[in-house]
Amino acid sequence: MQIWTGQSYPLGATFDGSGTNFALFSEAAERVELCLFDEDGTERRIEVTEVDAYVWHISLPSVQPGQRYGYRVHGPFDPANGQRCDPSKLLLDPYAKAIAGMATNHPSLYSYDFEDPTQRNTEDSAAHTMHSVVVSPYFDWGTDHPPAHDYHDTVIYEAHVKGLTMQHPDIDESIRGTYVAMGHPAIIEHLKSLGVTAVELMPVHQFVQDGHLVEKGLRNYWGYNTIGFFAPHNEYSYAGDTGQQVQEFKQMVKTLHEADIEVILDVVYNHTAEGNHMGPTLCFRGIDNSAYYRLVEEDKAHYYDTTGTGNSLLMRTPHVLQLIMDSLRYWVTEMHVDGFRFDLASTLARELHEVDRLSAFFDIIQQDPVISQVKLIAEPWALGEGGYQVGGFPPLWSEWNGSYRDTVRDFHRSEPGVLGEFSSRLAGSSDLYQHTGRTPIASINFVTAHDGFTLHDLVSYNERHNEANGEGGNDGESHNRSWNSGAEGPTDDEDVLTLRERRAKNLMATLLLSQGVPMILHGDEMGRTQQGNNNTYCQDDELSWMDWNLDRTQQEMLRFTREMIALRREHAIFRRRRFLQGVVREDVDSNLPDVEWLRTDGTPMTPEDWDQPQNKCLTVFLNGSAIPEPNERGEQIVDDSALILFNASGNDVIFTLPGKDHGEVWTVEVGTGGTLEVGAEIAAGESITRPSHSFLVLLRPPAGSDPEETAIEDLEKPELA
């Protein structure tokens, strides 16, 4: 085998069409061996002798895509001083583009003896760990281009590659649960008919199956346990872990783009799968422990943990920052993804003991010409002091708005004293974002997500039911802000079932009528249940997977969700690019404000009304003739105006429409409960009775317009359910 010196950049294994260059950073290393593996597991070790600026490099002209490899790093093993080099452990390449196999919970992966942790364990781990794989970078993208939907037009669908596709009857069983299935026409058709513009995929970076879960017959379903920041998870590959997963992932993205659907990745850059000081040595720990991880200053044998997972990456070192930035840039430029949702993003910003929103990480992203141009979404909470940072991220970022989730849940379960905050969340949460110059798109609105109850379970359970997780029912959130509607779990009570259906629709409608960017949890559009389990992180089975066999209620929920997304898409008043002002503006042709908050008698809310803790009803007027932001051609946007009537109380309530100055006649568009039919007309000042736990949307066209020109596309609209 020919051995050339190679180049120190780029890091990782780079195939150039003839051979492969290998480059690995390690400041701690004294020697580095590149290990090549044949199909039968035979290992060949090649000494890497070239090193520049702590990057060890070598080029092998004969190595082709598909070659499995790893590293053995020789250096100090001194945990008390933060050094854990151990050449008996085969290490993954941090820049591996594909990874083969899955680590077991074998003792050889650990540098200590299970029976006596004070003793070293030098058993070779190669047969029980994962291998890096050389991949070909070549792929025919054709005319692929990013859909680039404006944020205010975006509807996000949080999905799991396996969970969404594993039980679809129109997908061949051999490809279910894979990237190939995610791009299947049946999935594309569902997403298109629903009207979503982006899928936000739960972690697809290579992750590890936790040993303690496997021992209990469970699996890491969610995948928040990353070990490969450049590699698509190999268990989602139809062709297996030969490196073909890269091609399959690219084809999935290409297919979704052809359907005008963006791909956003849920990424975990705050920690790795190596865990705490008792965890396995798989990659970073054995390469350069103190360069990659935050260690306790007074006790460097232990890790400073702000994630609750055992370790935190050391964001203050240039090599960790480079790793993350290189990874993000790779997924945009080579894999063509359209954005990222950052798990526990506050941890990425944490420097010393506090969250610094102007930390190096955000500064670097701000100036990056590639990453700064895609969708960036933060999960703005983490463990420890200052960990909850809703509203604290830079202007470039959007955030999962946990305050939105909590307030909307409370309002629709009739909690007292939340009406004022509910109006703020409905209007885009300007109280959280406007002071930093941000707009409504800073708020990713959601009622449910993978972590917690599904929408069906939110209206069907008061308590979590997590017994299947094997933790005595103690895991998961205990304060869910849920209400079972009168019975816990499955029931034959028709009144309870009717109320649950109405409340689920109310929550979905509120989400899609709110300013900001809505995110729907996959399956909520069709009443998916997890049987009250609010923490299915380890349930890789039918409990978590989508069931595509729908009963009447589920079919109706799907129809309703499609209708609500279409309503949002066709009306700019529900997806404004700037915050509502609540005043009459001189730059629009209207003598009414862009929004008014009205009492049930049709008159404006007073400060005393907002302060009434038992007030659970609200009418919202949205003025379609008072949208100051122009369209892409510079023209003023003129839309229908809307009245939204919310009754979150447990009683029937009489609502009176405002006077003729707001519009002479209003048309019923969509709602829940009552006997009003879609298309019915209601005159200004008229009173109608709205049942408990219901909403209603009324529309009127702008003055002087042709109603047919402003109507949304024809949809099947039965009587209000």
Contact (CB, 8 A) for 196 and 565: yes
How far is residue 108's CA from residue 117's CA, in Å, rounded to a whole number? 13
Please write down the HEC assignment for all residues of 10-60.
Answer: CCEEEECCCCEEEEEECCCCCEEEEEEECCCCCEEEEEECEEECCEEEEEE
Catalytic residue (choose from 274, 288, 379, 563)? 379
User: Tell me, what DSSP letter sits at residue 652?
Assistant: -
| Beta-sheet pairing, 443-445 with 205-207 | unpaired
* Cα torsion through 411, 416, 421, 425, rounded to 10: 0
Contact (CB, 8 A) for 267 and 341: yes
How far is residue 364's CA from residue 30's CA, in Å, rounded to a whole number? 31
Strands (E), 367-448: 375-378, 398-400, 443-445
CB-based burial of residue 586 (10 Å sphere; 0-12 exposed, 13-18 middle, 19+ buried)? Answer: exposed
Catalytic residue (choose from 343, 421, 501, 540)? 343
Angle at 693 between CA 689 and CA 697, to 5 degrees: 65
- Catalytic (active site) residue 379: yes
Residue from 347, 259, 248, 363 nearest 306 by CA: 347
Give me 707's structure tokens: 């109603």
Map residue 454 onto helix, strand or coil.
coil
What region does 689 belong to: left with phi over 0, alpha with psi -120 to 50, or beta?
beta
- Catalytic (active site) residue 343: yes
Contact (CB, 8 A) for 226 and 340: no
As annotated, the active-site residues are: 343, 379
